[in-house]
Amino acid sequence: MSVVRVTQPMLVASSLRNLQGGLNKYADLQEQLSTGKRVNRASDSPSDATGSMRTRVAISDQNHYVRNAENGIGWLGTVDTTLSSMADSTRRARELGLQGVSTGTSSVNSREALAVEVDQIRADLISQANTTYLGRPVFGGTTAGAAAFDTTTGAYLGDSGQVMRTVADGVQVRVDMPGTSVVGPDGASLFDDLTTLSTALRAGDETSMRTALSNLQGRLNDISTAQATVGASYKRLEQASQKGQDSVVALRTTLSDLEDADLPQTLMNLKMQEVAYQAALGATSKALQPSLIDFLR
Binding site for another protein (CB under 8 A): 1, 3-10, 12-14, 17, 39, 41-47, 49-50, 52-54, 56-57, 60-61, 63-64, 67-68, 71, 134-136, 141-144, 159, 161-166, 169, 172, 259, 291-293, 296
3-state secondary structure at position 264: helix
Q: Which of residues 3 and 108 has its CB atom nearest to another protein in the complex? A: 3
**In the complex, minimum distance from the CB of residue 279 to another protein, in angstroms, rounded to a whole number:** 20
Q: Cα–Cα distance between 293 and 120 in angstroms, integer?
A: 117
**In the complex, minimum distance from the CB of residue 25 to another protein, in angstroms, rounded to a whole number:** 12
Q: Cα–Cα distance between 148 and 150 in angstroms, integer?
A: 7
Q: Which of residues 166 and 211 has its CB atom nearest to another protein in the complex? A: 166
Q: Which of residues 89 and 273 has its CB atom nearest to another protein in the complex? A: 273
**In the complex, minimum distance from the CB of residue 109 to another protein, in angstroms, rounded to a whole number:** 48
With CA atoms as reference, report the closest residue to 259 among 76, 81, 53: 53
**In the complex, minimum distance from the CB of residue 53 to another protein, in angstroms, rounded to a whole number:** 5
Q: Which of residues 52 and 130 has its CB atom nearest to another protein in the complex? A: 52
Residue 244 CB neighbours (<10 A):
21
Q: Which of residues 171 and 279 has its CB atom nearest to another protein in the complex? A: 171
Q: Name the residue type at position 231.
A: G
Give the helix ranges, DSSP H, for the chain: 8-35, 46-102, 108-129, 179-183, 190-203, 206-259, 263-288
In total, the chain counts a number of residues equal to: 297
**In the complex, minimum distance from the CB of residue 269 to another protein, in angstroms, rounded to a whole number:** 18
Which parts of 36-130 are beta strand (E)? none
**In the complex, minimum distance from the CB of residue 82 to another protein, in angstroms, rounded to a whole number:** 19
Q: Name the residue type at position 190.
A: L
Q: Which of residues 97 and 140 has its CB atom nearest to another protein in the complex? A: 140
- Residue 89 CB partners (closer than 8 Å, separation 6+): 121, 124, 125, 128
Residue 86 CB neighbours (<10 A):
24
Q: Cα–Cα distance between 267 and 270 in angstroms, integer?
A: 5
